[in-house]
Amino acid sequence: MGFLADNCTFRLLTRELIATSKPFSCGYDDLDEYFLKDSPLWADQMYGKTYCFVLKEDPQTIVCAFSLSNETIRVDAQLAKKEFPKEDTA
């Protein structure tokens, strides 16, 4: 299938997982700080959750991480109709 599906396990990125994992870096200092320090605080405040994939053969190795937000972006109804017309489903 793909690398993640074949070689990794999907996990919630928790303080405990961070503490027991090998150092993780996505290559961007601000994102690294967010994933390793801020994302648990974000989850505590119920702003969203952060997930990761770890290697099946070495669960202490985080391969990638991402967050899902509980926030929304409100768009004015008229603007939405103008910018995002409905698709013709026929």
DSSP alpha helix (H) spans, the chain:
3-7, 15-20, 29-33, 39-44, 77-83
The average pLDDT across 14-31 equals: 94
- Model confidence band, residue 71 (pLDDT cutoffs 50, 70, 90): confident
The full set of domain ranges for the chain reads 3-69
The average pLDDT across 23-52 equals: 93
Is pLDDT of 78 > 70? no
pTM of the model: 0.76
For residues 47 and 71, is the Cβ–Cβ distance under 8 A?
A: yes
Q: Which residues have a Cβ under 8 Å from the Cβ of 22 and sit 6 or more positions away?
A: 60, 61, 62
Q: Which residues have a Cβ under 8 Å from the Cβ of 19 and sit 6 or more positions away?
A: none
What pLDDT does residue 74 have? 73
Whole-number mean pLDDT of the chain? Answer: 88
The average pLDDT across 60-80 equals: 82
